[in-house]
Amino acid sequence: MVSTTKQHLLELGLSLLLKQGYADLGVAQLLDKAGVPKGSFYHHFESKEDFGLQAIDLYMQGVHGALEAAFGDSSAEPLAQIRRFFEMVSEGYKGDGYLGCLLGGLGQELSGISPAFRKKVEECFGVIARRFEKALRVAHARGQLRDGVEPRELADLLVNCWEGAALRSRLRRSGSPLGQMLDFYFAAVQPTKR
């Protein structure tokens, strides 16, 4: 079981990382904001890097929760499940004041200098893309995708285009790039209406 102090540090750290990024967040600042005595950080985490990687794990718990909620609704068609997932994610972004996606933020900031973060973020995108791919294969089998598209590639495209929209949403503190991207994507992948 995760100690409440550790959980508290990760939850607070997650929100600070989303806003400030990694380098700008000092361990002393984190402990001060958390009201946790100095010295306890290295009781719970091997290093700041270990803390950051565990904060990504916590972020992914939220992502997995949304994936399960969206794709667990077997009454919905697969493209509607995907849309539902992103609506939940968008609601989360809104709740944060549109700061974008932690994976995109830390991926950009750290992938040039930290092989561990680079690997971690790419793995997380891979996990999310594979869940989309599964739904897109069902959509494909049901004739709900345009001819000639490839579910695996479409799944990666969805992750990537979303991340770009999330960056723009962060810059503008607005949800509109997110909805625009989804409308564009779903119009592009579905068969042309006759």
Contact residue for a second copy among 13, 52, 151, 177 (CB under 8 A): 177
Q: Verify binding: residue 40, a second copy, rule CB under 8 A.
A: no
Tokens of 12: 């607070």
Q: What single-letter amino acid sits at 77? A: E
Comparing CB distances to a second copy, the nearer of 74 and 192 is 192
CB of 124 within 8 A of CB of 57? no
Q: Verify binding: residue 42, a second copy, rule CB under 8 A.
A: no
Residues in region 104-143 near a second copy by CB under 8 A: 104-105, 107-113, 118, 121-122, 125
* Residue spans of alpha helices (H) in the chain: 4-20, 27-34, 41-44, 48-71, 78-95, 102-110, 115-141, 151-172, 176-189
Burial class (CB in 10 A: 0-12, 13-18, 19+), 45: buried
Phi, psi for residue 40 in degrees, rounded to 5? -75, -20
- CB of residue 34 to a second copy, shortest distance in Å: 19
Return the beta strands (E) in the chain as ranges.
Answer: none
In this chain, which stretch among 4-12, 51-59, 80-88, 158-166 interacts with a second copy, using CB under 8 A?
A: 158-166
- CB-based contacts of 141: which residues, under 8 Å, 6+ apart? none
Contact residue for a second copy among 5, 8, 12, 20 (CB under 8 A): 20
Q: Verify binding: residue 151, a second copy, rule CB under 8 A.
A: no
Contact footprint for a second copy (CB under 8 A): 18-24, 99-100, 104-105, 107-113, 118, 121-122, 125, 153-154, 156-157, 159-168, 170-172, 177, 180-181, 184, 187-188, 192
